[in-house]
Amino acid sequence: MSHTFTLDGKVIPFTEGQTIIQAASAAGVFIPHLCYHPEFKAHGSCKLCTVKVNGRHTASCTMRAAPGMVVESETEEINAERRALTQMLFVEGNHFCPSCEKSGNCQLQATAYHLGMMSPHYDHFFPNRAVDASHPEVLLDFNRCILCSLCVRASRDVDGKNVFGLSGRGIKTHLIVNAKSGQLADTDFSLADKAAQVCPVGVILKKRRGFAVPIGERKYDQAPISQTADTTEGR
Partner 1 sequence: MTEKKKLKVATTSLAGCFGCHMSFLDIDERLFTLLEHIEFDRSPLTDIKHCSPDCDIGIIEGGLCNAENVHVLREFRKNCKILIAMGACAINGGLPAQRNHLPLTTILEEVYHTSPGLANGMIPNDPELPLPLNQVHPIHEVVKIDYFIPGCPPSGDAIWKVLTDLLAGKEPELGHGLMHYD
Among residues 41, 124, 207, 209, the one that binds partner 1 under rule CB under 8 A: 124
Residue 214 interacting with partner 1 (CB under 8 A): no
The residues pairing with 57 across neighbouring beta strands, listed in sequence order, are 52
- The piece of 58-66, 100-108, 150-158, 196-204 that touches partner 1 (CB under 8 A) is 100-108
Among residues 94, 111, 149, 187, the one that binds partner 1 under rule CB under 8 A: 94
| CA count, 13 A, side-chain hemisphere, 104 | 17
Q: How far is the CB of 226 from partner 1 (least distance, A)?
A: 9
Residue 95 interacting with partner 1 (CB under 8 A): yes
Residue 144 interacting with partner 1 (CB under 8 A): no
Q: Strands, DSSP E only, in the chain? A: 4-7, 10-13, 50-53, 56-59, 70-72, 131-132, 138-141, 164-167, 174-177, 204-206
Residue 195 DSSP code: G
Q: For the chain, how many residues are written?
A: 235
The residues pairing with 64 across neighbouring beta strands, listed in sequence order, are 19
Residue 140 interacting with partner 1 (CB under 8 A): no
- The piece of 27-35, 73-81, 102-110, 193-201 that touches partner 1 (CB under 8 A) is 102-110
Among residues 2, 9, 17, 118, the one that binds partner 1 under rule CB under 8 A: 118
- The piece of 50-58, 70-78, 111-119, 152-160 that touches partner 1 (CB under 8 A) is 111-119
Among residues 80, 191, 192, 223, the one that binds partner 1 under rule CB under 8 A: 223
User: Looking at beta carbons only, is 118 or 171 nearer to partner 1?
Assistant: 118
What is residue 16's three-state secondary structure? coil
Q: How far is the CB of 224 from partner 1 (least distance, A)?
A: 5
d(CA 210, CA 144) in angstroms, rounded, equals 16
Among residues 70, 80, 215, 229, the one that binds partner 1 under rule CB under 8 A: 215
Phi, psi torsion values for 22, nearest 5 degrees: -65, -45
Give the Å distances, CA to CA, from 133 to 142, 160, 203. Answer: 11, 23, 11
Among residues 119, 160, 169, 217, the one that binds partner 1 under rule CB under 8 A: 119
Comparing CA positions, the residue from 144, 53, 129, 134 lying closest to residue 95 is 144
| CA count, 13 A, side-chain hemisphere, 73 | 26
Q: Which residues bind partner 1 (CB under 8 A)?
A: 90, 94-100, 103-104, 109, 112-113, 116, 118-121, 123-124, 126-129, 215, 223-224
